């Protein structure tokens, strides 16, 4: 029995960041870096027009530590997850009492008790609900987390699993950090949440397959550095090159192991890590330049929301379409590629 997706919803926090405005702030804040003029075009070249944030711009313009960041992370994460969870339950025609398990993926903050426990209390979900918090998957967390939720639903037929993902990437911003990684994060990162309900019982596209690949000696390509002020973004310049050179082989291996070819895929719901990564993915998928229309549109309107972004791309597509096979993919710390196939 295959797990099926019964609902899919997204949510964003209330504060909107205009990319041109953020570029202006960045030029002033990072003026102490000698080559800032050379780096500033990246704000226009990201393909982003606007993003959503968990706090107004002024909040980010003063020094922040773990306490400040943590308070906003907990408050906004629970609020967004509750919004998504209620919307998913309503879309699936269910009630809170129908949810048997909850899986929550997030890597942009720390919560103990975990976010799933906080949500159980806030929404008064069943006291015997199964809980699975997932931390550390970064941008791949939406695809891998959905796969873990699908595995749970498949292992217990009839169980209704609520999968949720929330990332508040803007909370990692550092006004006094002149490193290139911080400037890149400032140009790309945004906040958002998404969710789905999975079960072997019900109508919706089947989650037919999933898989991952972790490259050797790649731990330093992407991740967080943990400092006294909070989490600090770490990026490698090699991500677009690795995507262009090695992702196609990993993709072909994933498809071949499942007796599929690239021509069997009707649509792509790819995490838009950035414009250059999307360029490389379009080549890997045999698409024309700009062919990942939905991924580029989500990047334009929402920015890079880490793990939540791939779910936004899927939500923008006709994910309930019959006789359609969709490939979800994302790249995240490890360094890893994640894949998942939906069949309508």
Q: How many residues does the chain have?
A: 344
Cα(201)–Cα(2) distance, integer angstroms:
9
Residue linked to tokens 């096979």: 325
Biggest CA pair distance of the chain: 60
Closest C-alpha to 245, from 137, 335, 305: 335
Cα(342)–Cα(120) distance, integer angstroms:
28
88 is catalytic: no
What residues contact 100, with CB distance under 8 A and at least 6 apart? 126, 129, 130, 156, 159, 160, 161
Using CA atoms, how far residue 39 sits from 30, 36, 317, in Å, is 10, 5, 33
**SS3 sequence, 249-281?**
HHHHHHHHCCCCCHHHCCEEEECCCCHHHHHHH
Alpha-carbon torsion angle 102, 147, 309, 58, nearest 10: 40
Closest C-alpha to 7, from 190, 219, 199, 226: 199
Active-site residue, selected from the candidate residues 88, 139, 169, 270: 139
What angle, rounded to 10 degrees, do the helices at 180-188 and 19-29 form? 160
Residues assigned a catalytic role: 139
């Amino acid at each position: 029995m295959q797990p099926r997706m019964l609902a899919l919803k997204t949510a964003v926090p209330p504060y909107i960041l205009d990319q041109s405005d953020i570029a202006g702030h960045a030029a002033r804040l990072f003026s102490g870096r000698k080559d800032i003029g050379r780096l500033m075009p990246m704000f226009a070249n990201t393909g982003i027009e606007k993003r959503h944030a968990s706090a107004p711009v002024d909040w980010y313009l003063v020094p922040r530590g773990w306490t400040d960041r943590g308070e906003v992370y907990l408050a906004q994460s629970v609020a967004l997850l509750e919004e998504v969870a209620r919307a998913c339950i309503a879309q699936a025609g269910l009630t809170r009492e129908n949810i048997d398990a909850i899986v929550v993926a997030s890597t942009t903050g720390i919560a103990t008790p975990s976010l799933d426990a906080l949500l159980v209390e806030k929404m008064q979900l069943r006291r015997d609900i199964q809980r699975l918090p997932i931390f550390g998957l970064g941008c791949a967390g939406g695809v891998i987390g959905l796969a873990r939720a699908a595995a749970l639903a498949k292992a217990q037929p009839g169980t209704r699993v609520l999968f949720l993902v929330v990332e508040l990437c803007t909370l990692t911003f550092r006004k006094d950090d002149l490193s290139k990684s911080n400037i890149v994060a400032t140009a790309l990162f945004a906040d958002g949440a998404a969710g789905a309900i999975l079960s072997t019982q019900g109508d919706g596209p089947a989650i037919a397959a999933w898989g991952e690949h972790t490259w050797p000696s790649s731990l330093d390509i992407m991740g967080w550095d943990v400092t006294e002020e909070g989490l600090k973004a770490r990026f490698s310049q090699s991500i677009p090159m690795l995507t262009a050179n090695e992702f196609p082989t990993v993709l072909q291996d994933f498809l071949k192991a499942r007796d599929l070819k690239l021509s069997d895929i009707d649509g792509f719901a790819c995490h838009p890590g950035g414009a250059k990564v999307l360029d490389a993915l379009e080549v890997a998928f045999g698409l024309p330049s700009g062919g990942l229309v939905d991924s580029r549109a989500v990047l334009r309107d929402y920015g890079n929301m880490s793990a939540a972004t791939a779910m936004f791309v899927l939500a923008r597509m006709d994910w309930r379409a019959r006789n359609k096979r969709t490939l979800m993919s994302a790249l995240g710390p490890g360094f890893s590629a994640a894949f998942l196939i939906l069949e309508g």
